[in-house]
Amino acid sequence: MTADRASGAAPAPATPKPRALSGIQPTGRFHWGNYFGAIRQYIELQPPADGASPGAAAEAYYFIADLHALTTVRDPARLRDLVRAAAIDLVALGLDPERAVLFVQSDVPEVCELTWLLMTVAPMGLLERCHAFKDKKARGLPADAGLFTYPVLMSADILAYDATVVPVGEDQVQHIEVCRDLAGAFNHLYGPVFTLPVPRLVEGGAKVPGTDGLKMSKSYDNTLDVFEDPAAQKKKIMRITTDSRPMEAPKDPETDHLFALYALVAPEEDRLRMAETYRRGGFGYGEVKKALVTAAAEHFAEARARRAALEADSERIEAILAAGATRARARAWDVLDRARRACGIDRSPHRPPPGRTS
């Protein structure tokens, strides 16, 4: 019993500390859009090793969304490889398992049960408006119930850890709104069970362009992958589409996708110098492409070295994911327990998973 309670005084209200959570689907190897648009932000939000820092979360949960990926990756061996590669990539890029909880979505089965509880308060109309399903239907493609209920599983992912802040790209904001709606509906029926999260968009929110100038995306086959073989990446860079204006013509760096890619990986000083060169004119796109090859190699050199070390130590990544799953399950169990009791699904003993300490 605390001193406050012993003296009969009301306990001081706890200051809400941001708890960050995000998931990323292992549907392919990570490209620059994934890194600069999502992963880099996860890393920035990790609680610092040496105490508080403004902007960082108090706790951070990041997971590899393999259950979501099942709606697109139908080859089990490939899915296993992609999950493992995603874990190695994230750690190599700076996600620190000492500071953030890194785990695989399917290692926390509590999330699936929570999905069902949320499904019972999810209006059909709300899910019909969600873009992943709507777009597929509009294109006349067959959609399965997994795709239709995808935002409910995503809501369970978020609510299971009492997340308050969800770093995502703009395309996911609609799903966070769904999550808030479902949590609100459940709380309205059964009392305050779930914490309502807010999205946190990448600063600037700029879309990373692909090698053809459209948004970089696996679906457009226009990606530069973070850990791509350097020779293959060089070929892709040398083939980046450019316009046919004469070399002498001054150009606006702000509207050029080759420059936008260079700006992501080049040090500040080089970026400013390149912008100046664009404005002056009298340069060839070939030179910019060569500079991009070099800048990209340097930008990811350390991460590449860390990746090679992790790849060579096969037990390390498994140990990281196992420890992450234990920590994630401990919290998800508490939240699920709360939700079960609130709605009257608490007849059978609901046993905590191994490793639950609290």
Residues marked active site are found at 136, 215, 218
Q: Which of 19, 20, 26, 34 contacts ligand ADP by CB under 6 A?
A: 34
Cross-strand pairs, 253: none
Q: Which is nearer to ligand ADP, 45 or 335 (CB)?
A: 45
208 touches ligand ADP (CB under 6 A) = yes
**10 Å Cβ neighbour count for 273?**
12
Count, in order, helices (H) and strands (E) of the chain.
Answer: 17, 5
- Name the one residue in this structure whose structure tokens are 């939700």: 339
Spatial CB neighbours of 350, under 8 Å, sequence gap ≥ 6: 336, 337, 340
Considering only 26, 97, 169, 197, the residue that binds ligand ADP (CB under 6 A) is 169
- Closest approach, Cβ 63 to ligand TRP, in A, equals 7
Per partner kind, with CB cut-offs from 5 to 8 A, the member of ligand ADP, ligand TRP, none near residue 37 is ligand ADP
For the bound state, the minimum distance from the C-beta of residue 261 to ligand TRP, rounded and expressed in Å, comes to 21
Quickly list H helices, 95-229: 110-119, 124-128, 131-138, 145-148, 150-159, 173-190
* Residues binding ligand TRP (CB under 6 A): 21-25, 65, 68, 154, 157-158, 166, 168, 172
Q: Is 168 in the site for ligand ADP (CB under 6 A)?
A: yes
Distance of closest approach, residue 157 Cβ to ligand ADP, in angstroms: 13
Mapping DSSP to helix (H, G, I), strand (E, B) and coil, where does residue 205 land?
coil
Q: From the list ligand ADP, ligand TRP, none, which binds 2 (C-beta under 5 to 8 Å, kind-based)?
A: none
Region of 282 (left: φ > 0; alpha: ψ -120 to 50; beta: rest) is left
Q: Compute the least distance from the CB of residue 27 to ligand ADP, in Å.
A: 6
Q: Which of 41, 10, 63, 2 has the alpha carbon at shortest distance from 199?
A: 41
Indicate which of ligand ADP, ligand TRP, none lies near residue 336 (CB less than 5 to 8 Å, by partner kind): none
Query: How far is it, in rounded angstroms, from Cα 173 to Cα 197?
Result: 11
| Alpha carbon distance 184, 195 (integer Å) | 9
> Of these partners, ligand TRP, ligand ADP, none, which one is at the site of residue 219 (CB under 5 to 8 Å by kind)?
ligand ADP
Binding status of residue 172 toward ligand ADP by CB under 6 A: yes
Give least dist CB 70 to ligand ADP, A. Answer: 14
The interface partner of residue 289, options being ligand TRP, ligand ADP, none and the CB cut-off 5 to 8 Å by kind, is none
68 binds, among ligand TRP, ligand ADP, none (CB under 5 to 8 A by kind): ligand TRP
- Please, are residues 139 and 91 in contact by the beta-carbon 8 Å criterion? no
- Kindly tell me which of 97 and 169 has the beta carbon lying closer to ligand ADP: 169
Residue with tokens 């850890």: 161
Beta strands in the chain (DSSP E): 19-24, 59-64, 101-104, 165-168, 198-201
Contact between 147 and 133 (Cβ < 8 Å): yes
- Contacts to ligand ADP from residues 4-33, by CB under 6 A: 24-25, 27, 33
Minimum CB distance to ligand TRP, residue 130 (Å): 11
Q: Enumerate binding residues for ligand ADP (CB under 6 A).
A: 24-25, 27, 33-34, 37-38, 168-169, 171-172, 207-208, 215-219
